[in-house]
Structures are given as C-alpha cells and as structure tokens.
Chain A
C-alpha cells in the first residue's frame, strides 16, 4: 500500500471527496454514452485526428468554456469565504489551493485557449488561406495544451493541488514549504501546455507571413490578424523563458539543485525575476488579440472603417517590444535599488501611451459612425470605460514609490481583474457572439446576450470596485480571512454579491447556447452582421477548404469593398485543392505526454523513461513518414459549392 499512499490527497475535505465521486461518475457516463450511441469512430475520425483549423478551434473553445466554469467555481468559493469576517467555509490550506488554481486555470487554461480558438478559427479565413502553415503541428499544439490542462486539473483529487500562488514564488514553492506534489503538477502541467503554445506561436507567425491571399500586403491585413500576429511574436520570445524557468523549478524540487534555494548560493528572487520576464509579456499575449477583436467589432457596428489603422499597428509593434521591458514592476518592493525601480516605473508608464492611442482610435471610430447596438457591440462599448479605469489604476501602480502602499493588497487584485475582465473576458464573449453564426449556422439570442452583458458589467463593478477601497485600507490579498475589527466586512459582502451576479451572467451564457440551439432560425445569410472582412465572404458553415477560389485582395476591407464598391475578389475557375491528411499521431503523442507528466509529478522514473522513449518514437515515426496529403477534385468542389449556395 505504500506505493499508493503517495496518490492520496494530503489535506482532504468533504468537497474534494464529493468531486472525486462526481468526476468518476462523469467519466463513466461519457464513456458509456460514447459506446451506447456508437460514437467512438465518429469521435476518432472527425475530432481526435483532425487537422482542420476550424475543428481544432472549436475544441479550444470547448476546453476554454469548461475551464471558465472550473475557475469560476474557485472564484465564488473565495468570495464566499471572504464575504464576512472570520468565516470558516474554507480553511487556510484550501483557500491557498483555490486562489492558486483559480489564477492558473483562468489565465493559462481559460484565456489562452479562448484566444487560440479565435486565432485558429478566424485567421486562416481572414487572410484567405486554406489552413494554417503546419496543420499537424497545430493539432499537436492543441492536444498538448489539452493534456497539460487535464493534468493540472486532476491535481486536486490525486496528490493535492498546488498551493503557492499562481506565481509560485520560491522559497514558498520549494520542497521545504510545499511538501505535497502540488507544485510538481504546476511545473509539469504548465510545461506541457507551454510547449503546445510555443508551437502555436511559430505556426501562426509562419501562416500570417506566408499564406495571405494574393494582394493582401502586411498593411492590408485585418486588425485582428495584426493583433494576433504581434501576440504570436510575443509568444515565441516569451514562452521559452517560461520553459526554462519551469525546468529549473523542477530541477530544484526533484533533483536537488540550488537555483532558488535559501542556502548553497541559491537565489529565491531569481524565480520572481524570470517568472515576470515571461509573465508580463504574457499579459500582452492575452490583451492584444482582445484588442483586435474589439477593433473588428467596433468598426463593423459603427458601420465605418477603423480610425487610425497605421497608428493601431504601430502601437502594437511598440507594445510588443516594451512588454519585455517592464517586468520588474511586479516586484518593486523586493529590495533592488531606486535606480532600477525608476527605470521600470518609466517604461511601465510609457507602455500606457500606445494603449491610450488605441482607446482614442476606437473612440474616433465611433465618432461619425452609425452605431448599431448588438450584443458584441454592447460588450465593446462597456469595455472602453471599464478598461480605461483599470488602465488608470495601472499607472498608479506603476509609480514605484506609491507601490509600496499598494503592493500585495486587494488594490492590485482589483486592478488586474479590472483590466482582464473588461479587456479580455468581455472581448472573448463579444467575439464568441460575433463568430457564433459563422461556426454553427445560427445566431445567439440577442435579448439574452444583452442581459448577460449588463449582468456581467454590473456584477463586475460590484465585485471589484470595493476591493480598491479595502486594498487602500490595507486588506492583504491571499489572506483567507480577516477579523471584524478591520471593518472590511460590508465591502467584502458587496463583492460577494457582485460575484453572484457575475455567476448568473455566466450561467445565462450556457442558457443562451441551449435556447438558441433549440429556437434560433437556421435561415441566416453568410454575412449576418454586414461585416467587412474576408471571413464573411465564404459560406456558412465553412467548407473544409474555406474558399473554393482563393480571394484576391486590394484593400484593407476586402469584403466590404466587394459588397459596396463592386471589387471582384473571386476570379478564375475552380482548381483541385491540396489538403493535409488527418493523423492520430498528435493525439497519441499527447496522451504519452500526459502519462509522462503524471509519472514525473510523482517521480516514478521507470514510466518516465519509457514514455520519454515513446515520445521520441512518435517523433521518429513522423520523420520517416511519407505523407503528401490529398486532393479535393473540381467535381467535388462544384458539388459542395452548389449545395451550400442552395441552402
């Protein structure tokens, strides 16, 4: 039995045992359902082995929504625990585990895949390509991300959750203070998902640089493609830093090295430093594609072209460089000298300038526009004031002297939620509503959608504005409770109510999907929003080859100019189309990675060696494989096109 004891949860509670049972039952139900409805073959052929960017995108979306609810439950538990002084819903250890997993799940396993979903689904369509540059690598990216996320999520029922915060600072995350395998999960699961993300970055840079439709020069690319391009550049240069950091953390915890230890010359501050060398660019990886989505949506529903296209592009290029120059503002209080803090204060304030340029560009796009308030537009209009508020508190935090007051308080928590929720989450929901008809052939209900947007905004204001005040009054973050004499009680209750309203908003999204699936009209055009860019120029649902004839572009808003100015973008005859073959190797290799990661977490070296060999065998098989893809014949294209046009 000694062998199995290591898998036990070190600090169990009724809720954890209940989750174990629930997870077990769900897995059994899914497996039984697949067998009963004979869907195994369908699942394997159409999804697990697919290399189609649209399907991979949809799988990213499903993962992101699942993780949104996992992270959301964490959030509600935290707000409930803090809603009144001296509550005992959670103990300190569980609270630690929950704020840790909330942070990681929301940033790396919710926001990241949500962005990957948009990039996968939209970019090839928006630049008029058939697929991404490396379709099979794309499948591998997804499955590595997915396995990393699953590995991370099983931590709370097998072996214990990480509990050292999403930043996992040493020495707290070292063996001395984090004795369970929880932090090993952190190191390994994020490593696996991070490899997938890095490959996505390489894939999309190549795609955007080399596969644009004829005539689409760099300065004629739609704004979302530009923003995703910059985000991918940041991914490629930031994620290797994370890979090295996590590898060093693993070495410290499992191989006794001395990078971040307190003795033998180790330097715990080094972890914080390198973490934020990756961590700050990561923030911009999240926000830039969100800005891109807002740009598309605002110009579509203001019914005019985006104001200041070149300044938008310029500001993003500037952000991509500056984002690597501000990291030390996350630890102004660590003890480095005034010179360093001053330098990083100035670079941090400087990065607010290009962001401000973007805000003004959106405002000037709205000016003289004929604004149509749809759900995506409502999110965008709510985003502008709320996000600006978060930006302004960001500049407050950027002043290193003042930061000694704000550091590690609820003020900071309020600030980064204030930029992430209106900035990223609203963009994701706006984009989801906007692209839903292109994916599934019907629109989400507008009435429920607008209710959701208002509930989320009101809930957001109620949850996070009080934190600015309690933060300035000195309420520390990551404390599992507080005494009544602090006077934090009433404002924290307001926060809890706000969190509850937000939860209702998120449940409404699910209800909207259900409601619209049942009742929405299927009789919609290919372009239900009267949009401006190429992704709306093809059929709904999108055929597997995207465009029967490769579009030829000579303006930024190619589709709009086709509709309004009579530009011809589809010229010529059908030709046979070259498509990549499906492959099971990405999925199988990622499954091996999962076993590798799990064994690594528990230091089971024999399975680690076996699976490492397995991973290399998969790579060798890929090297020797001779796969030239397949062709879709002209007759088949004609048949598909006629069917889609008729419908």
Chain B
C-alpha cells in the first residue's frame, strides 16, 4: 500500500496545505494591504511552482527546455498584459 503514496507527492500535498494556511492569514489577521499582497503573491506562485514540478513532472523528459520556456514565456506575457492593462485603464487614467 505504501508504494502507492510516494513521499515526494505526500510532502508536496502537505506543503500545499501549509501554503494555503499561510495565505489564509491575510483573512484572519489585520495586515496592511502591501503585506497581505506580498504574502498572497509568494504563496500563490510557490503553490503553482509546486504543482508544476512535483505533480506535473514538467522537467522529466528531453522536452524540459521547451516546456519551461513555454510556461515562462506565457507567464511573462500574462504579467505584461495584466500590469499593462492596469497601467492604461486604472493607474494612469
């Protein structure tokens, strides 16, 4: 039975629960906006990275380079789009 529950994935799951609990602190404690956002940004991106590496096996084949380039490229453009849109329509309007 234990071979069905590899340590790496169990630890990954436990870690993702911990990250969720940390993120929840912004709800339960009265933090400033910037502190809260920093906590959320750190926990969310750590969670995403965790899923990517531990569960999605992103780096296990010879296509590792293509897969990571694809993800990073997507992420960069996504962030450019989100912050660019906010700049145009909210912050500098």
Direct A–B touching in the complex (beta carbon < 8 Å)?
yes
User: Which A residues have a C-beta under 8 Å from some C-beta of B?
Assistant: 209-210, 233, 237, 241, 267, 269-270, 273-274, 277, 321, 324-325, 327-328, 335-337, 339-340, 343
CA–CA, A461 to B92, complex, Å?
Answer: 40
Q: Mark B39-71, 1 if CB is under 8 A from A, else 0.
A: 000000000000000000000000100100000
B7 CB → nearest A CB, Å: 33
A570 CB → nearest B CB, Å: 26
CA–CA, A419 to B76, complex, Å?
Answer: 28
Within 8 Å CB of B77, what residues of A?
A: 237, 321, 324
B84–A325 touching, CB < 8 Å: yes
Given A324-B81, A339-B87, A340-B88, 9 new contacts (CB under 8 A): A209-B66, A233-B73, A237-B73, A237-B74, A270-B89, A328-B84, A336-B92, A337-B92, A343-B87
B81–A241 touching, CB < 8 Å: yes
Within 8 Å CB of B93, what residues of A?
A: 335-337
In this complex, what residue of B is CB-closest to A337? B92
B89–A321 touching, CB < 8 Å: no
A336–B84 touching, CB < 8 Å: no
Residue B85 at the A interface, CB < 8 A? yes
In this complex, what residue of B is CB-closest to A206? B66
CA–CA, A530 to B80, complex, Å?
Answer: 45
A267 touching B89 in the complex, CB below 8 Å, given contacts A237-B74, A324-B77, A325-B84:
yes
CA–CA, A278 to B77, complex, Å?
Answer: 12
Within 8 Å CB of B89, what residues of A?
A: 267, 269-270, 273, 336
In this complex, what residue of A is CB-closest to B78? A237
CA–CA, A269 to B84, complex, Å?
Answer: 14
A324 touching B92 in the complex, CB below 8 Å, given contacts A237-B73, A273-B85, A274-B85:
no
A336–B81 touching, CB < 8 Å: no
Within 8 Å CB of A339, what residues of B?
A: 87, 92
Q: Is the interface of A mostly helix, strand, loop or mixed?
A: helix
CA–CA, A44 to B80, complex, Å?
Answer: 46
CA–CA, A543 to B4, complex, Å?
Answer: 50
B73–A328 touching, CB < 8 Å: no
Within 8 Å CB of A336, what residues of B?
A: 87-89, 92-93
Within 8 Å CB of A277, what residues of B?
A: 81, 84-85
B61 CB → nearest A CB, Å: 11
A340 touching B81 in the complex, CB below 8 Å, given contacts A233-B73, A321-B76:
no
CA–CA, A209 to B61, complex, Å?
Answer: 14
Within 8 Å CB of A324, what residues of B?
A: 77, 80-81
Q: Can you report 17 residue pairs joining A to B where beta carbons are below 8 Å apart?
A: A210-B63, A233-B73, A237-B77, A270-B89, A273-B85, A273-B88, A273-B89, A321-B76, A321-B77, A325-B84, A327-B84, A335-B93, A336-B89, A336-B92, A337-B93, A339-B87, A340-B87
CA–CA, A308 to B25, complex, Å?
Answer: 55
CA–CA, A343 to B66, complex, Å?
Answer: 31
CA–CA, A233 to B70, complex, Å?
Answer: 9
B31 CB → nearest A CB, Å: 28
B73 CB → nearest A CB, Å: 7
Within 8 Å CB of B66, what residues of A?
A: 209
Within 8 Å CB of A237, what residues of B?
A: 73-74, 77
CA–CA, A273 to B66, complex, Å?
Answer: 30
Within 8 Å CB of A233, what residues of B?
A: 73
CA–CA, A414 to B81, complex, Å?
Answer: 29
CA–CA, A325 to B79, complex, Å?
Answer: 11
CA–CA, A55 to B17, complex, Å?
Answer: 52
B81–A328 touching, CB < 8 Å: no
Within 8 Å CB of A274, what residues of B?
A: 85
A340–B80 touching, CB < 8 Å: no
Within 8 Å CB of B87, what residues of A?
A: 336, 339-340, 343
Within 8 Å CB of A273, what residues of B?
A: 85, 88-89
Within 8 Å CB of B73, what residues of A?
A: 233, 237
CA–CA, A601 to B89, complex, Å?
Answer: 30
4 closest pairs, A vs B, by CB?
Answer: A337-B92, A340-B92, A324-B77, A336-B88
B84 CB → nearest A CB, Å: 7
CA–CA, A88 to B85, complex, Å?
Answer: 42
A175 CB → nearest B CB, Å: 22
A509 CB → nearest B CB, Å: 38
